[in-house]
């Protein structure tokens, strides 16, 4: 997270042009959006004017461009406008279009940067969502593509472009902020290899394409209406695409992104990885637990009267509810001060699985000893079956322990148990006990 404010547009601004694939005229309008809204496309040419979030979960295809879909509604070639908004620091915006893709312009994101400048930007009251990468994230694709993100206090992109047979190998690296993006990146144009697009041209599938909207490479010849804008223009455009595709993760990052031979497919896979890792990291923050009121709640003092366990072996802080006579819910707040952390994976503290098993056993004991006929007894472990550990339990997690009696015969009881963190199963087991007099 960050104290830097979210930004949106100061007002609407409209751009008209030609779409790449259909060659049709399209009007695109950027509009302000509230805090936390994110970037969303809106197809105003369709009934109900549906929205499509700029979210990696909505990515449908990544062949030569990034396509988003919400049901049957699609928007194509979204990476340039998203890149411009991300590069210029805009977090929340509505992108209205009266067709299924933005104007292609000159093949760069400069027209969208100029549109953002025309609209203006304003700070909002909420902080930006910025995730500082603490451990490297690496991805490798069979065709030689590599994307690695390493820790950095800034957002930096380093790109190596490698064309077929090693043609036009170029490198570009820069720390990304609105000034650098506008000056060094947004003007870099789309480039294509003639052998890749000729079949599409023959089929009439790129009706809006021309030497004014892309650079065409034929052999070692660069075909363009104007000279290259940078000696490494291809690497800069790859950086432009990468910035747009990574924004689909829904969170900005502080980290150094190093990409060799990037493309929309690998870029969006990395965006999905960032989104998943960010969600996993946030899940370590315990969600608020609603403690039920009434006689079903047992605080630590009541728990101590039932169980014989004491520090450091007491694994239940509170019983937060009973469901009938056969189900019970307990809580253990896992803190960095637990006595086992200094010796269990020092530097990478994880709650031992056997202690999660012990927590399940203790909640099971509370459940069984609650029965009138078992008052004053003590539960002894007999066996554990179907034991599974699903995910690590870390300092700061709140462990919710579920226990259910599945069999009770005389002094022998059997329970089904789960430990959960934020609704996600961390471990599970079926336990058998003997209840004996103290």
Task: Write down the pTM of the prediction.
Answer: 0.66
In a domain, 194, yes or no: yes
Give 309-327 pLDDT, tens digit per residue: 898 999 999 998 888 888 9
What pLDDT shows up at residue 345?
A: 85
Give 389-422 pLDDT, tens digit per residue: 999 999 999 999 999 999 988 889 999 999 999 8
How far apart are alpha carbons 108 and 246 in whole angstroms?
17
Together in a domain, 233 and 334: no
Q: Once rounded to an integer, what is the mean pLDDT over residues 225-243?
A: 92
- Domain range enclosing 385: 300-437
E-state strands within 219-280: 221-223, 252-260
What pLDDT shows up at residue 208?
A: 44
What pLDDT shows up at residue 196?
A: 62
Q: Is a pLDDT exceeding 60 seen at residue 387?
A: yes
Together in a domain, 189 and 337: no
Together in a domain, 181 and 313: no
- Three-state DSSP at 313 gives coil
What one-character-per-residue DSSP string does 337-390 give?
T-TTTTTSSTTS----HHHHHHHHHHHHHHHHHTSGGGTTEEEEEEEEEEEEE-
| Comparison of pLDDT for 121 and 77, the residue scoring more | 121
Q: Is a pLDDT exceeding 70 seen at residue 160?
A: yes
**Tokens 């014989």 label which residue?**
308
Together in a domain, 325 and 259: no
What DSSP element (H or E) covers 320? strand 318-323
Nearest one of 295, 328, 333, 293 to 314, comparing CA atoms: 333
Q: How many domains does the chain have?
A: 2
What pLDDT shows up at residue 210?
A: 53
Together in a domain, 240 and 316: no
Q: Is a pLDDT exceeding 90 seen at residue 19?
A: no
Find the CATH number of the domain harbouring 402. 3.10.129.10
How far apart are alpha carbons 296 and 299 in whole angstroms?
10
> CB–CB of 11/120 below 8 Å?
yes
In a domain, 288, yes or no: no
In a domain, 292, yes or no: no
In a domain, 63, yes or no: yes
β-pairing, 398-409 vs 327-333, is: antiparallel
How far apart are alpha carbons 89 and 278 in whole angstroms?
20
Nearest one of 315, 332, 322, 317 to 292, comparing CA atoms: 322
Together in a domain, 206 and 317: no
Together in a domain, 237 and 383: no
pLDDT confidence bin for 2, thresholds 50/70/90: very low
Together in a domain, 322 and 243: no
Q: Is a pLDDT exceeding 80 seen at residue 228?
A: yes
In a domain, 291, yes or no: no
In a domain, 295, yes or no: no
The separation between the first and the last C-alpha atoms of the chain, rounded to the nearest angstrom, is 52
Task: Write down the mean pLDDT value for the chain.
Answer: 87
pLDDT confidence bin for 134, thresholds 50/70/90: confident
Together in a domain, 177 and 321: no
pLDDT confidence bin for 244, thresholds 50/70/90: very high
> CB–CB of 296/146 below 8 Å?
no
What pLDDT shows up at residue 288?
A: 46
Together in a domain, 312 and 359: yes
Find the CATH number of the domain harbouring 173. 3.30.230.20
Give the burial class of 79: count Cβ atoms within 10 A of its Cβ; 0-12 exposed, 13-18 middle, 19 or more buried: buried
Q: Is a pLDDT exceeding 90 seen at residue 146?
A: yes
Domain endpoint, select from 241, 257, 283: 283
How far apart are alpha carbons 21 and 25 in whole angstroms?
11
How far apart are alpha carbons 162 and 412 in whole angstroms?
69
What pLDDT shows up at residue 79?
A: 92
Give 346-375 pLDDT, tens digit per residue: 888 999 999 999 999 999 998 888 777 777
Percent of the chain surpassing pLDDT 90 = 60
Together in a domain, 315 and 216: no
In a domain, 290, yes or no: no
Which of 76, 138, 344, 348 is labelled catalytic? Answer: 344
What pLDDT shows up at residue 113?
A: 97
In a domain, 215, yes or no: yes
pLDDT confidence bin for 111, thresholds 50/70/90: very high
Nearest one of 77, 78, 60 to 69, comparing CA atoms: 60
Give 45-69 pLDDT, tens digit per residue: 999 999 999 999 999 887 768 899 9
Domain endpoint, select from 258, 283, 308: 283
- 309 a catalytic residue: no
How far apart are alpha carbons 187 and 240 in whole angstroms?
9
What pLDDT shows up at residue 141?
A: 86
Together in a domain, 325 and 244: no
> CB–CB of 223/217 below 8 Å?
yes
Q: Once rounded to an integer, what is the mean pLDDT over residues 216-237?
A: 85
What pLDDT shows up at residue 1?
A: 41
HSE-up of 186 (CA within 13 Å, CB side)?
26
What pLDDT shows up at residue 69?
A: 93
Domain endpoint, select from 256, 283, 310: 283
Which of 80, 237, 264, 309 is labelled catalytic? Answer: 264
Tokens of 11: 């007002």
How far apart are alpha carbons 58 and 68 in whole angstroms?
5
Which residues lie below 8 Å from residue 179, measured CB to CB, with a gap of 6+? none
How far apart are alpha carbons 184 and 327 in whole angstroms?
63
Q: Is a pLDDT exceeding 50 seen at residue 292?
A: no
Nearest one of 227, 219, 107 to 163, comparing CA atoms: 219
How far apart are alpha carbons 355 and 347 in whole angstroms?
19
- 264 a catalytic residue: yes
């Amino acid at each position: 997270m960050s104290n830097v404010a979210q930004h949106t547009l100061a007002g609407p601004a409209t751009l008209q042009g030609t779409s790449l694939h259909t060659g049709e005229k399209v009007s695109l309008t950027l509009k302000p959006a509230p805090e936390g809204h994110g970037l969303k496309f809106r197809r105003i040419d369709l009934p109900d004017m549906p929205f499509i979030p700029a979210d990696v979960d909505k990515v449908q295809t990544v062949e030569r461009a990034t396509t988003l879909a919400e049901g049957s509604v699609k928007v194509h070639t979204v990476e340039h406008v998203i890149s411009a908004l991300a590069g210029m620091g805009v977090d929340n915006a509505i992108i209205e279009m009266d067709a299924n893709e933005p104007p292609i312009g000159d093949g760069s994101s400069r027209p969208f940067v100029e549109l953002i400048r025309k609209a203006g930007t304003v700070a909002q009251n909420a902080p930006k969502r910025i995730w500082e990468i603490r451990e490297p994230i690496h991805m490798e694709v069979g065709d030689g593509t590599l994307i690695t993100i390493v820790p950095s206090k800034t957002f930096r992109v380093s790109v190596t472009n490698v064309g077929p047979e090693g043609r036009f190998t170029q490198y570009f690296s820069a720390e990304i902020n609105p000034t650098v993006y506008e000056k060094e990146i947004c003007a870099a144009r789309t480039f294509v290899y003639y052998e890749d697009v000729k079949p599409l041209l023959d089929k009439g599938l790129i009706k809006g394409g021309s030497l004014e909207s892309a650079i065409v490479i034929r052999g070692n010849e660069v075909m363009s209406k104007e000279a290259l804008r940078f000696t490494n223009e291809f690497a800069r455009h790859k950086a432009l695409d990468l910035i747009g595709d990574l924004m689909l993760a829904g969170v900005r990052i502080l980290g150094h992104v190093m990409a060799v031979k990037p493309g929309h497919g690998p870029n969006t896979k990395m965006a999905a990885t960032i989104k998943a890792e960010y969600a996993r990291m946030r899940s370590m923050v315990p969600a608020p637990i609603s403690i039920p009121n009434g006689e079903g709640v047992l605080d630590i003092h009541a728990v101590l009267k039932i169980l014989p366990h004491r520090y450091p072996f007491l694994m239940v802080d509170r019983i937060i509810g009973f469901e009938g006579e056969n189900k019970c819910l307990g809580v253990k707040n896992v803190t960095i001060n637990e006595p086992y952390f200094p010796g269990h994976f020092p530097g990478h503290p994880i709650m031992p699985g056997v202690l999660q098993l012990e927590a399940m056993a203790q909640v099971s004991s509370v459940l069984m000893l609650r029965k009138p006929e078992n008052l004053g007894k003590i539960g002894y472990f007999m066996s554990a079956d179907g034991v599974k550990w699903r995910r690590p339990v870390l300092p700061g997690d709140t462990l919710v322990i579920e226990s259910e009696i599945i069999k009770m015969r005389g002094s022998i009881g059997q329970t089904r148990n789960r430990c959960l963190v934020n609704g996600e199963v961390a471990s599970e087991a079926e336990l058998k006990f003997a209840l004996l007099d103290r």
